Chains A and B, each alone.
Chain A
Amino acid sequence: MSAIAVTHARVARSEWIKLRTVRSTVLTYLFAIAALGGSGLLVAISALERWESMSPSERAGVRIHEYVLAGDDLAFLALGVVGVIAVTGEYTTGMVRATLAAVPARLPVLWAKLAVLCATTFALMLPTSLVTYLVGDAIMSQRWEERLTDPGVLRVVVGTAVVATLVCALGVVLGFLLRSTAGAIATLFAILIVLPMTLGQFVPEIAPYLPSSAMLSFITVSPEEDMLAAWPGLALFAGYVAVAIGGAAARLKRRDA
């Protein structure tokens, strides 16, 4: 055991303890897993049941991964909320003062929270996404055909976990920027849901560059004409998150706790 002092690894360990020991974050993680896995199973079974009543063109239009991963939006929102409450829970209870008194350099807390939440989210959502796809595919392959190895499918399945991780990071950052649970969740939902429905509808020129469209590009096997391609989409969404991280770092460093 080395000398008693603050290190990045120790701050990360502290954040890992914090994440595990609050019921709300644990429950929200479980909700995200259930949202992706549960709705995947439900949609797969329902599609199979409706096969008889579908028209030939409907049958031909079904893509297994689109059906099976239909719960991704709900899971993303839940994971964004996990990111938010992991931070705002500290601000609203006053815990943040104890945290920042222990780590007065402050920025290590931001890095540690991002690292721990991103690692946890990816570690939970990658298997969830994979298992959901494989189970759903096994059910639906009675009528349709698609493989994980088909072009773009593996990218979408893994990409679902990648996007989930980035949305969680966005939640963390919004938490540090706004400090209030309601404000940060409202902003998160506005970015992911309201913006594409309003600005995206009425100013179609910028629609592909909105965060929600950019992330959608990466989890679509073949993005439409009016969308960015998969990898540029991911890069842009990650860029948005990175800019927000920069803002959060500046704010955390400067403002009174």
Chain B
Amino acid sequence: MITVEQLTKRYGEKTAVDSLTFTVRPGAVTGFLGPNGAGKSTTMRMIAGLDAPTAGSARVNGHAYADHPAPLTEVGLLLEARAVHTGRSARNHLLALAATHGIGRRRVEEVIELTGLGAVAGRRAGGFSLGMGQRLGIASALLGDPAALILDEPVNGLDPEGVRWVRELLRGLAAEGRTVFLSSHLMSEMALTADHLIVVGRGRLIADLPVAELTERTARDLVRVRTPDAEELTARLLGPGVAVTAAAPGLLEVRGATSAEIGAAAARHGLVLHELTPQRASLEEAFMELTRDAVEYRAGGDGAGGAAGLARDGAGAARAEDAAGAHDAAGAAAGAEAVAA
């Protein structure tokens, strides 16, 4: 359990974290989501006692981080910037950290095996790829078999296989009843990993809700139809409250009618359908909707800001790519819109 109350961090004039209050519960994966520069890393560093808050407090399992006699058994920490001496081998790095708590060599070898570092544990960490570095960071976090995990961008730099491994690991740890708190600017990753979301922008809390609720909140009523008889189907469907957009030749996007109604209409008029897909709102879109005002650095013109890299990332699952595709199609079809009055 991680409890954050009115947590605030100011650097001179700039407020990086602004009166954040939230609770991260055990037994679930909680995503900490926000565009770059939203204050996620600063919040995590304050929870771990590395940065002192300007105001407010953070507690882990009931106590301030620094008050725990064995903090590595309470919280496993993976920070965004690598926290490893480049000149030391992975094994020696883990042995040195373990030694502070009297954690034995056996546990060090266990986490090396668990994170798949066996073959490279004797090599200097400075020569590690980004992915290996992340695995070493995760190994360090697991060293004390902690009740809670705080992970800043844990899938950064991992290949798709590594991403899946982290996802399953975190879900497994949450299923064991641990508190898992991970940050990301990638909504698609959160959609697959997290049960609950805490969304921040410009240091402020934007939303604190289950992932499912976020999807519902921004649910759209849109059905994609692929048909060789696009013109006739459009004519048949149009009516009060129904809008049809020709996204591409032979591809329609219908608002205001369910897929059942569209299918029935097509059958009634003997029209051929190749595809009939209800579009669910993607979390990425929901995220962009939520953080639109809070995005600090906007990418040139597209308004997607920190989330723009989403669909290109290896982690971008089918759903995310779907969403991006729907977006593009909608944009391209802007000229060919037929809306019933």
| Chain A residues within an 8 Å CB radius of B85 | 18, 22, 89-90, 93, 95
A105 contacts the other chain (Cβ, under 8 Å)? yes
A10 contacts the other chain (Cβ, under 8 Å)? yes
**Which of A1-9, A141-149, A203-211 lies at the interface?**
A1-9
Given A6-B69, A10-B101, A101-B71: A24 touches B87 (CB 8 Å cut-off): yes
Shortest CB–CB separation between residue B132 and chain A, in angstroms?
15
Given A104-B66, A105-B66: A18 touches B50 (CB 8 Å cut-off): no
Interchain CB contact (< 8 A) of A257 among B51, B65, B86: B51
Please report the C-alpha to C-alpha distance between residue A35 and residue B242 in the assembled complex, in whole angstroms.
88
B95 contacts the other chain (Cβ, under 8 Å)? yes
A55 contacts the other chain (Cβ, under 8 Å)? no
| Residues from 50 to 97 in B contacting A, C-beta threshold 8 Å | 50-52, 65-66, 68-73, 75, 77, 79, 81-89, 92-93, 95-97
Interchain CB contact (< 8 A) of B84 among A7, A94, A101: A94
A14 contacts the other chain (Cβ, under 8 Å)? yes
Taking a contact as CB atoms under 8 Å apart, the answer to whether B100 and A11 are in contact is yes
| Chain B residues within an 8 Å CB radius of A14 | 96-97, 99-100
| Chain A residues within an 8 Å CB radius of B30 | none
| Chain B residues within an 8 Å CB radius of A24 | 87
A199 contacts the other chain (Cβ, under 8 Å)? no
| Chain B residues within an 8 Å CB radius of A6 | 69-71, 100-101
Q: Give the contact-size bracket for chain B.
A: 35 or more
Q: Which of B84, B88, B140, B144 counts the most chain A CB atoms within 10 A?
A: B88
B102 contacts the other chain (Cβ, under 8 Å)? yes
| Chain A residues within an 8 Å CB radius of B166 | none
| Chain B residues within an 8 Å CB radius of A3 | 70, 102
A225 contacts the other chain (Cβ, under 8 Å)? no
| Chain A residues within an 8 Å CB radius of B71 | 6, 101-102, 104
B127 contacts the other chain (Cβ, under 8 Å)? no
A100 contacts the other chain (Cβ, under 8 Å)? yes
B162 contacts the other chain (Cβ, under 8 Å)? no
B48 contacts the other chain (Cβ, under 8 Å)? yes
Taking a contact as CB atoms under 8 Å apart, the answer to whether A18 and B49 are in contact is no
Taking a contact as CB atoms under 8 Å apart, the answer to whether A98 and B69 are in contact is no
Please report the C-alpha to C-alpha distance between residue A13 and residue B87 in the assembled complex, in whole angstroms.
19
Taking a contact as CB atoms under 8 Å apart, the answer to whether B79 and A17 are in contact is no
B103 contacts the other chain (Cβ, under 8 Å)? yes
Taking a contact as CB atoms under 8 Å apart, the answer to whether B50 and A97 are in contact is yes
| Residues from 241 to 257 in A contacting B, C-beta threshold 8 Å | 254, 256-257
A21 contacts the other chain (Cβ, under 8 Å)? yes
Shortest CB–CB separation between residue B79 and chain A, in angstroms?
6
A50 contacts the other chain (Cβ, under 8 Å)? no
Given A6-B69, A256-B50: A17 touches B83 (CB 8 Å cut-off): no
Please report the C-alpha to C-alpha distance between residue A2 and residue B146 in the assembled complex, in whole angstroms.
18
| Chain A residues within an 8 Å CB radius of B228 | none
Taking a contact as CB atoms under 8 Å apart, the answer to whether B99 and A1 are in contact is no
Taking a contact as CB atoms under 8 Å apart, the answer to whether A5 and B81 are in contact is no
Taking a contact as CB atoms under 8 Å apart, the answer to whether B92 and A5 are in contact is no
Q: Which of B87, B92, B93 counts the most chain A CB atoms within 10 A?
A: B87
Interchain CB contact (< 8 A) of A94 among B82, B92, B144: B82
Taking a contact as CB atoms under 8 Å apart, the answer to whether B73 and A4 are in contact is yes
Taking a contact as CB atoms under 8 Å apart, the answer to whether B83 and A98 are in contact is yes
B303 contacts the other chain (Cβ, under 8 Å)? no
| Chain B residues within an 8 Å CB radius of A257 | 45, 50-51
B104 contacts the other chain (Cβ, under 8 Å)? yes
Taking a contact as CB atoms under 8 Å apart, the answer to whether A101 and B49 are in contact is yes
Residue of A nearest to B125 (CB): A93
Shortest CB–CB separation between residue B25 and chain A, in angstroms?
22
A103 contacts the other chain (Cβ, under 8 Å)? yes
Shortest CB–CB separation between residue A95 and chain B, in angstroms?
4
Please report the C-alpha to C-alpha distance between residue A66 and residue B272 in the assembled complex, in whole angstroms.
103
Please report the C-alpha to C-alpha distance between residue A240 and residue B139 in the assembled complex, in whole angstroms.
41
| Residues from 133 to 158 in B contacting A, C-beta threshold 8 Å | 140, 144
Shortest CB–CB separation between residue B44 and chain A, in angstroms?
11
Given A17-B96, A21-B96: A93 touches B84 (CB 8 Å cut-off): yes
Taking a contact as CB atoms under 8 Å apart, the answer to whether B100 and A93 are in contact is no
Interchain CB contact (< 8 A) of A4 among B88, B93, B101, B140: B101
Taking a contact as CB atoms under 8 Å apart, the answer to whether A4 and B87 are in contact is no
Please report the C-alpha to C-alpha distance between residue A23 and residue B87 in the assembled complex, in whole angstroms.
7
| Chain A residues within an 8 Å CB radius of B86 | 93
Residue of B nearest to A90 (CB): B85
Taking a contact as CB atoms under 8 Å apart, the answer to whether B100 and A102 are in contact is yes
Residue of B nearest to A100 (CB): B50
Given A21-B89, A98-B84, A98-B140: A256 touches B100 (CB 8 Å cut-off): no
Interchain CB contact (< 8 A) of B65 among A15, A93, A104: A104
Given pairs A99-B97, A104-B66, 8 additional interface contacts (CB within 8 A): A1-B102, A3-B70, A4-B103, A6-B101, A17-B92, A17-B99, A24-B87, A95-B84
List of 8 A-B pairs having minimum Cβ-Cβ separation, nearest first: A104-B66, A14-B99, A21-B92, A98-B83, A95-B85, A256-B51, A97-B83, A257-B50
| Cross-chain pairs A/B with CB under 8 angstroms, 25 sampled | A1-B104, A4-B103, A5-B69, A6-B70, A6-B71, A6-B100, A7-B102, A10-B99, A18-B85, A21-B92, A21-B96, A22-B88, A23-B87, A24-B87, A95-B93, A98-B83, A98-B84, A100-B49, A102-B100, A102-B101, A103-B100, A104-B49, A104-B71, A256-B51, A256-B52
